[in-house]
Amino acid sequence: MSVSERIGYAVVGLGGIAERAILPAFRHSRKSRLVALVSRDASRARRLAAKFRAPRAYGYDEYDRCLSDLDVQAVFIASVNAAHAEQAIRAAQAGKHVLCEKPMATSVDDCRRMIEACRRNQVRLMIAYRKYFEPASRALKKLVAAGRLGRIKILHSAFTIRLGPRAPSWHLDPKLAGGGSLVDVGVYCVNTARWLLEQEPAEAEAYAWTVDPARFREVEENIAFRLFFPGGAVLEASSSFGAAQASFVHVHGERGWAALDPAYAYDEERRLFGKTDGRWFEKRFPRMDEFVLEVDAFANSIRQARDEEPDGTQGMRDVAVMEAIYRSARAGRPARIRLPA
């Protein structure tokens, strides 16, 4: 595909994940190209535009100028969580397709507004869950869907990172982040369980705690939670801002079990292993650029005028589940999950 035929992206929000992973992906993409960068810090936008060869750079106060650019066909929103809804809605109103980092927004109401804006303006909306396209996760999904593990009874999952002293302060501000480790990394556990089981949980139970109350006054450092599914399966999961980076998902069924470890980090080799019908198996998946798969999948959905699987409805339901997890943690008792239509 020629450069002119590739989908032109503007990346909005230039934090660490954008510089380390999102922007480099465009160097290797055959279906997507980097057209513009948008940041709160216009000088940072210009510096990274030069580094990654983006033709144009804007500050947030110039977002409308970016959206009026005919070469920008899609926006990849990677800003602070509380900004997702406004930035996505403005993009949709300008006729731009929207790829939005997780969590989709900080409330179900904002998610609903994003979905409606994209529908009304006939643009695509996808939430940036890399595992929908990454080979190891897809292999685990295939095992479960094919019934190789039998009826699923228990899932265990965790995603932990150590939020260092130089981490952006917005992670500790509930108005900007919408929560702590749950919304930042625990969301992967929530979405993965729903994706693997193809079911929606009915009830949540949770407990949040901190060992650093001076720093984690307003958002949780750690949280452990259970999700109860109507088919009888239970997810046991946890997330942390205070532990070394690690992630896994274990799936236990009547015929066998399977584990993906690491499960969610984007820069490591993955191992899928387990035992089914008494036989061990293991497969290794080399490190790859998962963000290329993601931006190109969205480019395909735009070209083919169809929604990709991790759409706005999926993102909104994850937010609804996390709202129930927080209600349970605050009340100290199980909380029913109110899934939006």
Catalytic residues: 102, 188
Q: Copy the structure tokens of residue 283.
A: 């497969």
How many CB atoms within 10 Å of residue 13? 22
What is the DSSP secondary-structure string of 38-99? Answer: EESSHHHHHHHHHHHT-SEEEEGGGHHHHHT-TT--EEEE-S-GGGHHHHHHHHHHTT-EEE
Report the residue count for the chain. 341
10 Å Cβ neighbour count for 246? 15
Q: Where is 207: in which H helix or E strand?
A: strand 203-209
Give the Cα separation of 86 and 129 in Å (integer): 20
Closest C-alpha among 227, 235, 229 to residue 204 = 227
C-alpha span between 179 and 204 (Å, rounded): 17
